Amino acid sequence: MGRRTVGSSEDETVPREAARRLEGKVALVTGASKGIGAGIAREFAAAGASVVVNYAAGAGDAERVVRGIRARGGSAVAVQGDVSDAADVERLLTETVAAYGRFDVLVNNAGVYFPEPFESATPEQIDRQLSVNVLGPILTAQEALKHFGPEGGAIINIGSLDSARAVPGMAVYAATKGAVDALTRVLAAELGSRGITVNTLAPGGVETEGIHAAGFIGSAAEAEMVQRTPLGRLGRPEDLARVAVFFASDDARWVTGERLTASGGLRS
């Protein structure tokens, strides 16, 4: 399988002409400077939402996403913030509301992983995964509750197929995504009376800048994963983004506490 490249132009993964299912909504997408988060930000904007593109580092990448959205007639701003830092999260939500006057949708996408044999995982790697992947969604959801309007809102947690399968070298990451699944279930029950839906979107293998950098694309491992995927390819960020649009839209007002696996049929 030949190597592919993830383009760096502002027009990469341009959304198709989307139905305006999110017209008038304001969405915050964490970790949206690249990969799945960037795809969700673009698709939300194409569906009519105003989007806050959050990033922890890599301001240039975030601004590139914003420029691409604006070039296609959408509305977006980039806001820096580390989701594992409570002060940053408070500022992130405050700036979201200051930019657009309201707040409707939180996408907890920011995440990190360090694929290592379990005995090799360092305390620093473990702490970073727990801080970003678990504490981050907790802090952002807590802060989001202060800013949703009286009609409620939507929280979309980006999980992983890895929380439901056993992949050597991913024990800590899988544990953090299992925690995200549990957070979704409990928050859905706790927040339903306030009109707030909470769902998990769990990707399988998705082609992003990260897995290119890790050397996965073009490897035997990629070929094996594609072979086990009924739809016969890796996912793309826009594949996940279109499902996220559904969760964020009024079409999903009767859907909460769910974990939807979007993996091209890959299960294990």
Catalytic residues: 173
Compute φ and ψ for 154, nearest 5 degrees. -135, 135
- From 240, 258, 239, 108, select the one nearest 197 (Cα to Cα): 258
End-to-end CA distance of the chain: 22
- From 93, 110, 92, 115, select the one nearest 102 (Cα to Cα): 93
Other CB atoms closer than 10 Å to residue 194's CB: what's the count?
12
Other CB atoms closer than 10 Å to residue 34's CB: what's the count?
19
- From 200, 198, 181, select the one nearest 190 (Cα to Cα): 198
Entry field: residues in the chain: 268
* Cβ proximity of 36 and 11 under 8 Å: no
* Cβ proximity of 110 and 56 under 8 Å: yes
Enumerate the β-bridge partners of residue 235: 206
- Cβ neighbours of residue 91 closer than 8 Å, sequence gap 6 or more: 81
In the chain, which ranges are continuous DSSP H helix?
A: 35-46, 59-71, 86-100, 123-130, 136-144, 171-191, 209-213, 220-228, 237-248
